[in-house]
Amino acid sequence: MRGQASTTMAPPGAKGIRGTSVTEDPANRRGLGGGNRHIVFHLIPLQRPEIVALFHSDFSPVSASSPAHAGETLIVSAIGLGPTRPGVDPGQPFPASPLQELNSPFDLKVNGESVVVLNKVGWPDTTGVYRVDFRVPDGTAAGIVTIQLSAAWLPGPEMEITVQ
């Protein structure tokens, strides 16, 4: 499971607020600063991260007939990367503003080597789809190259692309 927690103040007169039991020591609740607060946990089942599509910076697809180039910035469309900051409720689309940055530990490898990721956010107006921008390392040899994502230390399947 992955997840995130947030606290909210209960509105005055809210129903369903639990009172203190006879055996509970109120001193254990003083760390919250008093008042009625709700802690909300959003638990999200682990999903294997996966690349859905790969694009050039002009959003044309990377393919054998339109290969990537060393030094080029590519855009990955991915799923299964987990919660974001500041966060959206599960099942809700990512907003365009503010951008929702990935909150899980994340790595992107090209031919087994970690690369610098320029951007890793929830793709605006989509649900559960993420956008990751990265630069193909300079000096990447022409031919077939593998790309692999990992989120929350969970590796996804490798994807092969052609680099020219």
Yes or no: say if 162 and 64 are a contact pair by the CB < 8 Å rule. Answer: yes
Are residues 155 and 103 part of one domain? yes
* Same structural domain, 66 and 103: yes
Which range marks the domain in which residue 37 is found? Answer: 2-44
Spell 130-159 as b/e; 16+ CB within 10 A means b. Answer: bbbbbebbeebeeeebebbbbbbebebeeb
Assess whether 88 and 137 both reside in one domain.
Answer: yes
User: Do 15 and 89 lie in a common domain?
Assistant: no
Regarding whether 54 and 34 lie in a shared domain, the answer is: no
pLDDT tens per residue, range 78-136:
999 988 998 898 889 999 999 999 998 999 999 999 999 999 999 999 999 999 999 99
Question: What torsion do the CA atoms of 46, 74, 102, 52 make, to the nearest 10 degrees?
Answer: -30
Shared domain check, 10 and 78: no
Looking at the fold, whether 65 and 146 belong to one and the same domain comes out as yes
Per-residue pLDDT for 31 more than 80?
no
Other residues' Cβ atoms within 10 Å of the Cβ of residue 76: 22
pLDDT of amino acid 17: 52
Cα–Cα dist 109/126, whole Å? 25
Q: For the chain, list the strands marked E by DSSP.
A: 2-9, 37-44, 50-56, 73-79, 84-85, 101-102, 106-110, 113-114, 117-122, 129-135, 143-151, 154-155, 159-163
**Whole-angstrom Cα Rg for the chain:** 21
Residues 39 and 93 in one domain: no
Domain identity same for 93 and 158: yes
Whether residue 103 contacts residue 122, with contact meaning beta carbons closer than 8 Å, is answered with: no
- Domain count for the chain, please give it: 2
pLDDT tens track for 45-94: 568 999 999 999 999 999 999 999 999 999 999 999 988 998 898 889 99
- 92 and 16 part of one domain: no
pTM: 0.73
Residues 24 and 78 in one domain: no
Between 17 and 84, residue with greater pLDDT:
84
CATH of the domain at 111: 2.60.40.10
Q: Which residue has the tokens 């697809």?
A: 61
